[in-house]
Amino acid sequence: MLASLLCVAVAAPPPPNTRILFENFVAKYKRHYATEFEKDKRFQIFSENIDVIYASNTKNLSYTLGVTANTDRTFEEWRAKYLTASDKPALSDEQNGRPLFEAPKEFTEPESVDWVAKGGVTSVKSQGSCGSCWTFATAGALEGAMFVSGRPIVDLSMQHLLACDRPSDFGCSGGIRSQAIEWVVENGITALKDEPYLCEDDNAIGCRQMTCSGSQPLVLAVGDVVKNTDVAQTELALEAAVAQQPVSVGIEAAPVFMHYTGGVLVGAACGSSLDHAVLAVGYGVDNGIKYWKLKNSWGEDFGENGYIRIEKGSAASLGQCGIRKRASFATVKEAASVVV
């Protein structure tokens, strides 16, 4: 379906048949519009987005765009569905007494790091319509910390954070990742299998009526998370941090994220007003372009099987999309030796 939208090096592709693309889109994503008027409205929005996608792909950029689940939405609708102030403005840029990680003097940047390939990252998941990206990024950082400490990696419960980390964080209205780690330091966290995620639809009864039961066993108990560290806002510091483990980061999601299907995103129209939380799981070089590899929480259909790569070493003061503005990671106590 997307073949006609991908750039061709020899010549620009012919304009897509938008009506066919739209009908294929409706079937694939099981869209059910209430009225013909609404369907016509969605087709017009879809057509405008197709024009944007087509125009971008004819430029032979380092990334591609295509039809996604968002192609019948305006940017404003998409932003309202997926993005929140992932690090609330009430939180200052100060570290509030937490340790600040700087690159060790002996650190030399590896050419590539990939915690997914190493087995330190769990499967991609979907936050759905709930603004809970902060819980996914926090759980991912803790899972990575478990892995590097020598513990078995376990999918941790985003739902536990969503329901229990109150009133410090704000449920489906956003939260503060470093503050969520502090909460786990003091309270522990359960496994996803014991407390499944209930808020892929934030209007579902289970989500709206969720409570913190406190009855499930803790995977990370009180005292297991021994440190919560912020990363200095330099390229070298973030490189060194990600080289040692997956790191929770905040970004400002650019409009192009709506349609991203692959490649390294360079020159995105984004600043550093953080509105989304993701997990930095590695970095590398692709055709001479350095990139950060980020695990997202919009399901495996997004981007590169749920991941996105954005430019590393951007001239922007805080990196591409503000990635260096507020990064943090946890340190987990090594598992006790098992005596057989």
**C-alpha–C-alpha distance, residues 26 and 2, integer Å:** 14
Compute the CA torsion angle 36, 40, 42, 43 (nearest 10 deg): 130
Query: Which position among 70, 187, 207, 276 bears the catalytic label?
Result: 276
Query: Which position among 130, 133, 199, 321 bears the catalytic label?
Result: 133
How is 167-189 classified by DSSP, letter by letter?
Answer: TTS-TTB---HHHHHHHHHHH-E
The predicted structure's pLDDT at residue 312: 94
Query: Which position among 49, 270, 296, 321 bears the catalytic label?
Result: 296
Looking only at the bridges linking them, the beta strands covering 260-265 and 307-311 are: parallel
Q: The domain 3-73 is classified under which CATH number: 3.20.20.60, 3.40.50.11890, 1.25.40.20, 1.10.287.2250?
A: 1.10.287.2250
Domain 81-332 indexed as CATH 3.90.70.10: yes
Q: Is residue 212 annotated as a catalytic residue, yes or no?
A: no
Beta pairing partners, 286:
289
Q: What percent of the chain has pLDDT over 90?
A: 76
Specify burial of residue 300 (Cβ count, 10 A radius: 0-12, 13-18, 19+): middle
- Kindly list the distances between the CA atom of residue 23 and the CA atoms of 2, 36, 184, in Å, as whole numbers in the listed order: 13, 14, 46
pTM comes to 0.89
Q: Is residue 296 annotated as a catalytic residue, yes or no?
A: yes
Residue 289: both structure tokens together: 């372009």
What is the DSSP-derived secondary structure letter of residue 197? Answer: -
The predicted structure's pLDDT at residue 295: 98
Residues of the chain with pLDDT under 70: 1-16, 85-97, 167-169, 336-340
Domain residue spans in the chain? 3-73, 81-332
The predicted structure's pLDDT at residue 271: 85
**C-alpha–C-alpha distance, residues 22 and 5, integer Å:** 13
Q: Is residue 133 annotated as a catalytic residue, yes or no?
A: yes
- Per-residue pLDDT of 37-51, as tens digits, reads 999 999 999 999 999
The predicted structure's pLDDT at residue 73: 95
**C-alpha–C-alpha distance, residues 107 and 2, integer Å:** 43
The predicted structure's pLDDT at residue 314: 78
Q: What is the residue whose two structure tokens read 């997926």?
A: 82
The predicted structure's pLDDT at residue 123: 97
